Amino acid sequence: MAAPELQVNLTRRALLLTAASLPVACLSSLPFPQGVSEPQPFDIHMRPPQVGQEWVYSIKNVFNGLLMDTVTERVEAVGAQIRISRVGQKLGVLPDEIQSPRGYILQDPHWNPPQQFQKPMPLWPEQLRAGWSGFYQTRYIVPGYPDNSYYWSENINTQSWQRIQVPAGDFLTLKYHVNAPNFESNDFSRIANWRDEDIWLSPKIGRWVIRRSSGRYLLPGYNIAAALWEDYLESELLSWK
């Protein structure tokens, strides 16, 4: 793991552990986003990617509501691969997101370290309707370290169409859940790993308006009640163009 990635990971871990150690009365955790249920829309069109499209997100610690960073994501290239650059006000230049083809993620930078999949994984449900589900598995490498690959699997379950309010406005979204129940970490000290994400996807903007992500893991000698937190963050859309 490169030194900047390690520093980011240690900073996140320190903040999460600090939040988890505070008395409950001291915490002001982020409430789970609540949208208003909507019927299945007809004739859904996902906004096509174009160079210059941009989304700005606040990234907050769910435990205490602390603003971790404000990240601008921008489409830099469209073709066989769609490359989205990411820059944080605090952390500076972050790893790119790469889709290939559109809607399938080849390089996922939203976790630390980033993951480069051997087979691109769906970034959103393959069918934009409530009640759909899919299971996928592949292997991934950490960019810059091609000699080792790790098992990855995930379930995607769509739950409902919801209208939800965020700082960028009011959006009709498809709410879905992603669960990675038992993947291999590049950190060999971790004997079990799992991640969960709740995502509110807006076809109008071709991106999510809220993405809430949590990850946990076990070390040798720990039981599930003592699982450690990898991250627990929420991205919320501030603006888009």
Q: Which tens digits make up the pLDDT trace of 150-191?
A: 999 999 999 999 999 999 999 999 999 999 999 999 999 999
pLDDT of 209 higher than 90: yes
User: Where does residue 238 rank: exposed (0-12), middle (13-18), buried (19+ CB within 10 A)?
Assistant: middle
The model's pTM is 0.88
Helix (H, G, I), strand (E, B) or coil at 143: coil
Mean pLDDT of 34-55: 97
Instruction: Look at residue 20 and tell me whether its pLDDT is greater than 60.
Output: no
Measured CA distances, 46 to 33, 38, 116, 189 (Å)? 23, 18, 24, 41
Domain span at residue 130 reads 3-240
pLDDT at 62 over 90: yes
Question: Mean of the per-residue pLDDT values for the chain?
Answer: 91
φ/ψ region of 203 (left if φ > 0, alpha if ψ in -120 to 50, else beta) reads alpha
Per-residue pLDDT, averaged over 14-35, amounts to 63
| pLDDT confidence of residue 27 | 56
pLDDT for res 11: 41
pLDDT band at 17 (very low <50, low <70, confident <90, very high): very low
Burial class from Cβ neighbours inside 10 Å (0-12, 13-18, 19+) for residue 115 reads: buried
**Residue 210 maps to which CATH number?**
2.40.360
> What total number of domains does the chain contain?
1
188 in Cβ contact with 176 (< 8 Å): no
Q: What length is written for the chain?
A: 241
Report the alpha-carbon distance of residue 201 to residue 192 in Å, rounded: 29
